């Protein structure tokens, strides 16, 4: 990190309250704990337990844990796992919803030196079995209501909630010796094919603190925040925010299933200051009545958030929305602040601290000696560089790179201020009648129609034009919007080749557990 970025990083930590005057024994204890385990997921929990052992760490529907309790219980569970045969290098998979159990299983497996594989709780049996086989999973720790899926996965050993509770009761709570950093394996969302495992050492790496300070530099997170993480913890966005919350010794509130009314009630009752979501959750919260005066941050990521929703959120909750763009592979790339979103509701924001974002010409190949950057405002392939990227896929492959930067797989453009706009996925762009068409532009337009809740636009083969657009539209209750009216609305504002040839109405768009639209479920098979 360059000196300016280092200074800004320290300033961000100080602003968040991580560098402050307090009881003289606390910071040294936390520093020693972090030094032992490093800037890893376990290290963050160790620092929290050393600094604020009596502060509430986790609250779910069934229980609560202080940082001290969390540390001791995960020592005991790690001891039990070791006695059950888990060794450094074993693969322990977590098949749990958002709960204290998810966090305890993760910390205990990491303390044992096992590789931790996070399983999507919405995976079908065949997909789950494929991941278990490809990642060499030895044991699955799972919620009781997911026992059927766990059994069908074919894993060699299973631990349900009662088995985990027994190991905690019988295990030693004494501090464990540090083992080699465990590898965390986060599965890609699998919207276009079989999920791939993206690896990170210990839940972080040498640049893990860079990601934390980059977030703190742009989003006003504070030590001791009261945080609801509604985004799935098995997803990179939810897991990263759990790490950020622990690094700030915050109290985290979790629910196994997202319910907008219950979430809003928790925000009001617990005076929640930070809400971590994916965009579809924000959309469902809009309609829930009640004020949220304590809420200082709504951090949204995981999929695109359309301009109309951004405008609604700012009107409903005030200047608290932060739109975060990144991926499992490149970590956090850009952040749009409320000021950015007021000025440009469709923006993904500016590059974060110590991060480079560039857009390269579509025709640029990876073996170009001098790859071509596109001019301001022109669409190109998005590449990102920072020290917080992943360590490669577990199958030995990696993402495409140019000039030391990693491809996100998205297309986008930059404006004069350096704000990034996402135009769509590389594999979503279609060529219709010789013209490049980006479905995201049409989706953003449709999202602004007063009768449309949301829309997804995809390309399908066409004998005359090569490809054509099909729009899938979800309308508001009571709407009598017709396909002809939708086409006319687009035709009035965009070029003819961007008008969908077909408009189909759905009650809802198909999505995965992280809120991304499953486009392959919309395209003809």
Confidence of residue 24 (pLDDT cuts 50, 70, 90): low
Closest by CA to 456, choosing from 500, 422, 409, is 500
- What local confidence, expressed as pLDDT, does residue 192 receive? 46
> What's the rounded Cα separation, in Å, for the pair 504 and 440?
17
Question: Looking at the predicted structure, is the pLDDT value of residue 5 above 60?
Answer: no
Question: Looking at the predicted structure, is the pLDDT value of residue 322 above 80?
Answer: yes
- What local confidence, expressed as pLDDT, does residue 12 receive? 56
What is the rounded radius of gyration, in angstroms, for the C-alpha atoms of the chain?
A: 23
Confidence of residue 6 (pLDDT cuts 50, 70, 90): very low
Q: What is the mean pLDDT of residues 245-271?
A: 96
Q: What is the mean pLDDT of residues 181-205?
A: 73
> What's the rounded Cα separation, in Å, for the pair 160 and 108?
15
Residues 134, 137, 143, 149, Cα dihedral to 10°: 40
Question: Looking at the predicted structure, is the pLDDT value of residue 364 above 70?
Answer: no
Residues 126-167 pLDDT 10s: 888 999 999 999 999 999 999 999 999 999 999 999 999 999
- What local confidence, expressed as pLDDT, does residue 366 receive? 57
- What local confidence, expressed as pLDDT, does residue 397 receive? 85
Confidence of residue 13 (pLDDT cuts 50, 70, 90): low
Question: Looking at the predicted structure, is the pLDDT value of residue 191 above 70?
Answer: no
> What's the rounded Cα separation, in Å, for the pair 438 and 362?
13
Please state, as a whole number, how many other Cβ atoms lie within 10 Å of the Cβ of residue 17: 16
Question: Looking at the predicted structure, is the pLDDT value of residue 205 above 50?
Answer: no
Length of the chain: 525
Please state, as a whole number, how many other Cβ atoms lie within 10 Å of the Cβ of residue 222: 17
> What's the rounded Cα separation, in Å, for the pair 247 and 296?
18
Average pLDDT over all residues of the chain: 88
Q: CATH number of the domain at 430-521, please?
A: 3.30.300.30
- What local confidence, expressed as pLDDT, does residue 88 receive? 94
Tell me the three state secondary structure of residue 350.
strand
> Where are the domains positioned within the chain?
430-521
- What local confidence, expressed as pLDDT, does residue 1 receive? 45
Upper half-sphere CA count for residue 332 (Cβ side, 13 Å): 35
Residues 330-351 pLDDT 10s: 989 999 999 999 999 999 999 9
Rounded percentage of the chain residues whose pLDDT exceeds 70 = 90
- What local confidence, expressed as pLDDT, does residue 193 receive? 54
- Please tell me which residue, 198 or 65, carries the higher pLDDT value: 65
Question: Looking at the predicted structure, is the pLDDT value of residue 264 above 90?
Answer: yes
- What local confidence, expressed as pLDDT, does residue 20 receive? 52
DSSP, residue by residue, 325-390: EEETTTEEEEEE-HHHHHH-TTEEEEEPTT-EEEEE-TT--TT-SSPPBPPTTS-EEEEEE-S---
> Is 379 in contact with 411 (CB distance < 8 Å)?
yes
Q: Which two tokens stand for residue 167?
A: 């190991």
Q: What is the mean pLDDT of residues 432-457?
A: 89
Element (H, E) at 211: helix 208-218
> What's the rounded Cα separation, in Å, for the pair 324 and 345?
13
Question: Looking at the predicted structure, is the pLDDT value of residue 426 above 90?
Answer: no
Tell me the three state secondary structure of residue 227.
strand
């Amino acid at each position: 990190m360059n000196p300016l970025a280092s200074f800004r990083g320290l300033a961000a930590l100080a602003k968040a309250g991580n560098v402050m005057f307090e009881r003289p024994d606390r910071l040294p204890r936390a520093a020693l704990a972090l030094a032992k385990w490093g800037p890893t997921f376990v290290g963050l929990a160790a620092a929290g337990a050393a600094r604020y052992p009596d502060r509430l760490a986790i609250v779910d529907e069934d229980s609560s844990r202080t940082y001290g309790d969390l540390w001791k219980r995960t020592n005991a569970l790690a001891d039990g796992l070791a006695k059950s045969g888990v060794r450094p290098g074993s693969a322990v998979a977590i098949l749990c919803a958002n709960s204290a159990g998810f966090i305890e299983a993760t910390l205990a497996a990491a303390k044992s030196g096992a590789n931790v594989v996070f399983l999507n709780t919405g995976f079908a049996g065949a997909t789950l079995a494929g991941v278990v086989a490809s990642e060499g999973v030895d044991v699955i720790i799972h919620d009781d209501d997911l026992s059927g899926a766990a059994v069908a996965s074919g894993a060699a050993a299973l631990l349900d909630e009662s088995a985990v509770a027994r190991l905690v009761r019988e295990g030693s709570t004494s501090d464990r010796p540090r083992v080699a950093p465990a590898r965390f394996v986060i599965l890609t969302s699998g919207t276009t094919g079989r999920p791939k495992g993206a690896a990170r050492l210990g839940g972080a790496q040498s640049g893990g603190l860079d990601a934390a300070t980059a977030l703190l530099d742009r989003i006003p997170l504070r030590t001791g925040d009261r945080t609801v993480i509604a985004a799935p913890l098995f997803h990179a966005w939810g897991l990263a925010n759990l790490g950020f919350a622990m690094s700030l010794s915050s109290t985290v509130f979790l629910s196994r299933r997202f319910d907008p009314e219950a979430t809003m009630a928790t925000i009001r009752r617990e005076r929640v200051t930070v809400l971590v979501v994916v965009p579809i959750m924000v959309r469902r919260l809009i309609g829930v009545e009640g004020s949220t005066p304590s809420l200082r941050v709504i951090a949204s990521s995981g999929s695109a958030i359309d301009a109309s929703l951004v405008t609604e959120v700012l009107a409903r909750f005030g200047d608290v929305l932060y739109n975060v763009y990144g991926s499992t592979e490149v970590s956090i790339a850009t952040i749009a602040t409320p000021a950015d979103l007021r000025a440009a509701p469709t923006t993904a924001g500016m590059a974060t601290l110590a991060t480079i974002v560039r857009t390269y010409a579509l025709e640029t190949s990876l073996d170009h000696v001098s790859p071509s950057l596109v001019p301001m405002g022109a669409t190109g392939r998005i590449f990102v560089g920072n020290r917080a990227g992943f360590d490669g896929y577990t199958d030995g492959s990696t993402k495409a790179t140019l000039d030391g930067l990693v491809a996100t797989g998205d297309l986008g453009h930059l404006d004069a201020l350096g704000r990034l706009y996402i135009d769509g996925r590389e594999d979503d762009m279609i060529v219709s009648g010789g013209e490049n068409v980006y479905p995201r532009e049409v989706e953003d337009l449709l999202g602004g129609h007063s009768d449309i809740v949301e829309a997804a636009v995809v390309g399908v083969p066409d004998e005359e034009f090569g490809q054509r657009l099909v729009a899938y539209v979800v309308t508001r209750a009571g709407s009598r919007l017709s396909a002809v009216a939708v086409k006319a609305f687009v035709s009035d504002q965009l070029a003819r080749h961007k008008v969908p040839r077909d408009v189909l109405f759905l009650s809802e768009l198909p999505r995965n557990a992280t809120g991304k639209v499953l486009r392959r479920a919309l395209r003809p098979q």
